[in-house]
Structure 1
Amino acid sequence: KVASEASIDRLQSLIKLCVSLCYLWMKPDRIKLLRLLSCYTLDQFSEFIPFCGKALQIVLIVWNG
Protein backbone atom coordinates (compact mmCIF):
# COMPACT_ATOMS: atom_id res chain seq x y z
CA LYS A 1 0.00 0.00 0.00
CA VAL A 2 2.82 2.40 0.88
CA ALA A 3 4.46 1.62 -2.46
CA SER A 4 1.30 2.39 -4.40
CA GLU A 5 0.88 5.67 -2.48
CA ALA A 6 4.45 6.59 -3.38
CA SER A 7 3.81 5.79 -7.03
CA ILE A 8 0.63 7.89 -6.96
CA ASP A 9 2.63 10.81 -5.53
CA ARG A 10 5.20 10.25 -8.25
CA LEU A 11 2.48 10.15 -10.90
CA GLN A 12 0.97 13.38 -9.57
CA SER A 13 4.33 15.16 -9.54
CA LEU A 14 5.03 13.98 -13.09
CA ILE A 15 1.60 15.16 -14.22
CA LYS A 16 2.21 18.54 -12.56
CA LEU A 17 5.55 18.79 -14.34
CA CYS A 18 3.91 17.77 -17.62
CA VAL A 19 1.13 20.35 -17.28
CA SER A 20 3.64 23.04 -16.29
CA LEU A 21 5.86 22.23 -19.26
CA CYS A 22 2.91 22.24 -21.65
CA TYR A 23 1.72 25.57 -20.24
CA LEU A 24 5.17 27.13 -20.41
CA TRP A 25 5.61 25.74 -23.94
CA MET A 26 2.43 27.53 -25.01
CA LYS A 27 3.43 30.74 -23.21
CA PRO A 28 7.23 30.71 -23.32
CA ASP A 29 8.80 31.93 -20.12
CA ARG A 30 12.38 30.75 -20.18
CA ILE A 31 13.27 31.75 -16.62
CA LYS A 32 10.28 29.95 -15.10
CA LEU A 33 10.96 26.95 -17.30
CA LEU A 34 14.61 26.80 -16.26
CA ARG A 35 13.66 27.19 -12.60
CA LEU A 36 11.17 24.33 -12.98
CA LEU A 37 13.69 22.10 -14.73
CA SER A 38 16.39 22.83 -12.15
CA CYS A 39 14.16 21.09 -9.56
CA TYR A 40 14.57 17.83 -11.46
CA THR A 41 17.65 15.72 -12.02
CA LEU A 42 18.58 14.65 -15.54
CA ASP A 43 17.55 11.07 -14.68
CA GLN A 44 14.10 12.20 -13.56
CA PHE A 45 13.77 14.34 -16.66
CA SER A 46 14.81 11.63 -19.13
CA GLU A 47 12.41 9.28 -17.35
CA PHE A 48 9.68 11.92 -17.64
CA ILE A 49 9.98 12.58 -21.39
CA PRO A 50 8.44 9.28 -22.62
CA PHE A 51 5.96 9.47 -19.75
CA CYS A 52 4.50 12.84 -20.77
CA GLY A 53 2.13 11.54 -23.44
CA LYS A 54 0.91 8.79 -21.12
CA ALA A 55 0.33 11.28 -18.31
CA LEU A 56 -1.73 13.52 -20.57
CA GLN A 57 -3.81 10.53 -21.69
CA ILE A 58 -4.50 9.64 -18.06
CA VAL A 59 -5.37 13.25 -17.23
CA LEU A 60 -7.78 13.42 -20.18
CA ILE A 61 -9.40 10.08 -19.28
CA VAL A 62 -9.88 11.19 -15.67
CA TRP A 63 -10.98 14.67 -16.71
CA ASN A 64 -13.58 13.35 -19.16
CA GLY A 65 -14.66 10.83 -16.50
Structure 2
Amino acid sequence: MKLACEGCDWTTNAETVSELYEDMMKHGEDRHAYLFEGKTSEELEAMKKMMRAHIYRMIAAQN
Protein backbone atom coordinates (compact mmCIF):
# COMPACT_ATOMS: atom_id res chain seq x y z
CA MET A 1 0.00 0.00 0.00
CA LYS A 2 1.12 3.53 -0.74
CA LEU A 3 0.18 6.78 0.99
CA ALA A 4 1.34 10.36 0.37
CA CYS A 5 1.65 13.21 2.84
CA GLU A 6 -0.75 16.03 2.00
CA GLY A 7 1.68 18.63 3.36
CA CYS A 8 4.74 17.76 1.26
CA ASP A 9 5.98 15.41 -1.45
CA TRP A 10 6.85 12.51 0.89
CA THR A 11 5.34 9.09 0.16
CA THR A 12 5.43 5.81 2.06
CA ASN A 13 4.95 2.23 0.97
CA ALA A 14 3.96 -0.38 3.54
CA GLU A 15 2.56 -3.87 3.76
CA THR A 16 -0.12 -3.20 6.37
CA VAL A 17 -2.43 -0.41 7.51
CA SER A 18 -0.61 -0.35 10.85
CA GLU A 19 2.72 0.20 9.10
CA LEU A 20 1.23 3.01 6.99
CA TYR A 21 -0.10 4.68 10.12
CA GLU A 22 3.23 4.35 11.95
CA ASP A 23 5.17 5.68 8.95
CA MET A 24 2.85 8.67 8.57
CA MET A 25 2.97 9.56 12.27
CA LYS A 26 6.77 9.29 12.39
CA HIS A 27 7.04 11.41 9.25
CA GLY A 28 4.78 14.06 10.79
CA GLU A 29 6.82 14.17 13.98
CA ASP A 30 10.11 14.36 12.05
CA ARG A 31 9.31 16.63 9.12
CA HIS A 32 6.44 18.73 10.45
CA ALA A 33 7.60 19.13 14.07
CA TYR A 34 6.95 22.87 13.90
CA LEU A 35 3.23 22.08 14.14
CA PHE A 36 3.80 20.67 17.64
CA GLU A 37 5.88 23.54 19.04
CA GLY A 38 4.36 25.43 21.95
CA LYS A 39 1.43 23.05 22.38
CA THR A 40 0.27 21.79 25.75
CA SER A 41 0.17 18.06 26.40
CA GLU A 42 -3.62 18.17 26.02
CA GLU A 43 -3.31 19.95 22.66
CA LEU A 44 -0.70 17.44 21.49
CA GLU A 45 -2.94 14.53 22.44
CA ALA A 46 -5.88 16.11 20.59
CA MET A 47 -3.69 16.69 17.52
CA LYS A 48 -2.55 13.06 17.53
CA LYS A 49 -6.15 11.86 17.73
CA MET A 50 -7.12 14.10 14.80
CA MET A 51 -4.13 12.91 12.76
CA ARG A 52 -4.94 9.28 13.52
CA ALA A 53 -8.48 9.74 12.23
CA HIS A 54 -7.26 11.68 9.19
CA ILE A 55 -4.65 9.07 8.25
CA TYR A 56 -7.20 6.26 8.52
CA ARG A 57 -9.65 8.26 6.35
CA MET A 58 -6.91 8.70 3.72
CA ILE A 59 -6.20 4.95 3.80
CA ALA A 60 -9.91 4.11 3.52
CA ALA A 61 -10.33 6.49 0.59
CA GLN A 62 -7.75 4.49 -1.37
CA ASN A 63 -9.60 1.21 -0.91
Specify if TM > 0.5: no
Greater helix percent: which structure? Answer: 1
Which has the larger Rg? 1
TM-score, with normalisation over the residues of structure 2?
A: 0.36
Greater strand percent: which structure? Answer: 2
RCO comparison, higher one (Cα < 8 Å, 6+): 1
